[in-house]
Amino acid sequence: MAKDGGSGKDRHVEAFLEMLAAERGAARNTLLAYDRDLEDFSAFARARGEAPAAATAATLRDYMAGMGAEGLKPRTAARRLSALRQFHRFLLREGLRTDDPTNLLDSPKLPSVLPKFLSESEVDALLAATARMPDRIAEVSRAALEILYATGLRVTELLTLPRTALASDAALIMVKGKGGKERMVPLSDAARDAAADLAALSDKRIRWLFPGRDPARPLTRQAFFLMLKQVALEAGIDPARVSPHVLRHSFASHLLAHGADLRSLQMLLGHADIATTQIYTHVLAERLRKLVEAHHPLAVAR
């Protein structure tokens, strides 16, 4: 079997992980998740006398079936299948295999989960609550919430914004998303003003718009989550319902409700696949239902 003599990990798995880090800029948590999932499969393949990179279609099929028999959640099985597919595409591209046995595997059926989002009035309440927060927290939370709701940025994209990103009068900002992919995102006047007010409070030599306790580093996700919970309490909203991702969902849902189309939303959110953006079609369905009720002659109450 092809193992690395030092770590015991399959050298092809290591090469795959190195590719994800170097070529796609995969985050550390993403790499750790792929590592865990592929190590689990590697142990299964080795128990059958096969190297992970040379596993047969039957071994892959039995591995997936075994997860179902063990009662693993469909989302866990789907994540592991995704890791296996990415790994085998890498092997195929590198000429290490001549086939991709994952093409024969069926994806686990996932329950339909609608994204959680806040109402427009609840977002207004959050923004109003920032003004009642103490000292610098008021400026930081106001700028963060204005930007998140105006752009739909991921939390990491927000916290790693350079101090100068919103310094000009430009209507668009450049955002570096997953895998180092860049996209242009429109910015509201309120978000730009809030960012300018925040930047004016910090030393011009500081790189980040949202510096952490150590100004050389951006604010941590944990510190930002805690601050967001405090603002939610001040706004009278259950803190469990408020997170950066919920604000991202709110941005998307409210845009669709006001007439945006899925393709434009895909570009704004930085989704590589339109299928990811389609989780918001429930908003479109509701809008269409109201449109029919309001204008279709047969929908008029008799």
Q: What is the DSSP string of 106-163?
A: PPPPPP--PPP---HHHHHHHHHHHTTS-HHHHHHHHHHHHHHHHH---HHHHHT-BT
Q: How far apart, in whole angstroms, are the C-alpha atoms of residue 13 and residue 4?
A: 10
Question: In this structure, is residue 36 part of a structural domain?
Answer: yes
Q: Are 118 and 126 spatial neighbours (Cβ–Cβ below 8 Å)? A: yes
pLDDT at 6 over 60: no
Whether residues 154 and 230 share a domain: the answer is: yes
Q: Kindly name the residue from 176, 178, 183, 229 that is annotated as catalytic.
A: 178
Whether residues 193 and 63 share a domain: the answer is: no
Per-residue pLDDT reduced to its tens digit, 48-63: 999 999 999 999 999 9
Q: Judge whether 178 counts as a catalytic residue.
A: yes
Q: Kindly name the residue from 88, 163, 248, 249 that is annotated as catalytic.
A: 248
Q: What is the CATH number of the domain that holds 206?
A: 1.10.443.10
Whether residues 205 and 279 share a domain: the answer is: yes
- Which has the minimum average pLDDT: 59-63, 185-189, 272-276, 279-283? 279-283
- Which has the minimum average pLDDT: 166-175, 218-227, 266-275? 166-175
Whether residues 100 and 124 share a domain: the answer is: no
pLDDT at 113 over 80: no
Structural domain boundaries, residue 179: 120-290
Confidence (pTM) = 0.61
The last residue of a domain, from among 55, 72, 104: 104
pLDDT at residue 112 in the model: 58
Q: Judge whether 248 counts as a catalytic residue.
A: yes
* Mean of pLDDT values over 270-289: 73
Q: Judge whether 149 counts as a catalytic residue.
A: no
Whether residues 97 and 146 share a domain: the answer is: no
Q: What is the CATH number of the domain that holds 73?
A: 1.10.150.130
The last residue of a domain, from among 71, 104, 137: 104
Whether residues 63 and 148 share a domain: the answer is: no
* Mean of pLDDT values over 270-279: 78
Count CB atoms within 10 A of the CB of residue 185: 19
pLDDT at 268 over 80: yes
Q: Judge whether 88 counts as a catalytic residue.
A: no
Per-residue pLDDT reduced to its tens digit, 148-164: 999 999 999 999 999 88
Q: Kindly name the residue from 80, 88, 154, 254 that is annotated as catalytic.
A: 154
Q: Judge whether 245 counts as a catalytic residue.
A: yes
pLDDT at residue 87 in the model: 95
DSSP 186: E
SS3 297: helix
pLDDT at 173 over 90: no
Q: Where are the alpha helices (DSSP H) in the chain?
A: 11-23, 28-47, 57-69, 74-93, 120-130, 135-151, 155-159, 189-199, 221-235, 244-257, 262-269, 274-277, 281-295
**Matching residue, tokens 């100068």:** 164
